[in-house]
Amino acid sequence: MTANAFHNIAQIETSLWEAADQLRANSNLTATEYSMPVLGVIFLRHATNRYQTALQAIEAAQAAGTMPKRPLVKGDFIKRRALMLPEAARYNTLLNLPSGASLGGALVAAMNAIEADFAPLQGSLPKDYDRFDNKLLENLLRCFDSEALRNATGDVFGRIYEYFLMKFAMQGAQDNGEFFTPPSLVQTLVNFIELPDAHPGNVCAK
């Protein structure tokens, strides 16, 4: 990674954290309470990126004749290290909900749809978005919809994820409490995010 790329990612991390911290400040929740919803949004952003990348590769293979034109199945995406995301769980679907729709309810439905489709994820994704104001959730989602993040790859998300864990832990200490990241979510994201030099110690959980 070049120095310029490192600097750009650092800027992205800072701006993302500021948006996430606004969610906390305006909801009066502790770091422990708001960490899971924010980590879930990071998960959805990366899952959508991987889905789109895999879909483009599949369509290119079908156009080139190296893959038959047929209805797609989960295995087509899994072999390309992506989830075949239900439409309700895709980032663009959530950002384009009709006016007046409950974004919190839609995020809960998105997480439920993913878990229903992918048994290994059952019980690991956050589902408490309905406690947040619609506008706060919209702002958070739009923050993760920048051009830089729409094109971000696994190593970038790995950095963002680890940065957020560090910031959550620091904020948790300021809240006079102890911050724990649920091992199920940590393992899910570690498996899903493609760290280029992943080692078990890169992401720690208590």
Domain spans of the chain, in order of start: 3-202
Span 3-202 CATH architecture:
Up-down Bundle (1.20)
Q: For residue 99, what pLDDT is reported?
A: 86
For residue 38, the one-letter residue type is: V
Q: What is the pTM of this model?
A: 0.80
Q: What is the token pair recorded at 86?
A: 């239900």
Q: What is the token pair recorded at 197?
A: 């030099």
Q: For residue 21, what pLDDT is reported?
A: 76
Alpha carbon distance 40, 21 (integer Å): 15
Q: Using alpha carbons only, how large is the chain's radius of gyration in Å? A: 17
Alpha carbon distance 151, 56 (integer Å): 13
Contact between residue 155 and residue 117 where contact means Cβ atoms under 8 Å apart: no
Q: For residue 51, what pLDDT is reported?
A: 95
3-state helix, strand, coil in the chain (%, to 5): 70, 0, 30
Residues in Cβ contact with 114 at an 8 Å cutoff, skipping those fewer than 6 apart: 47, 83, 85, 86, 89, 121, 125
Q: For residue 8, what pLDDT is reported?
A: 72
Residue 198 Ramachandran class (φ > 0 left, ψ -120 to 50 alpha, else beta): beta
Rounded (5°) CA angle 117-121-122: 80
Contact between residue 34 and residue 27 where contact means Cβ atoms under 8 Å apart: yes
Alpha carbon distance 200, 45 (integer Å): 23
pLDDT under 50: residue ranges of the chain:
1-6, 194-206
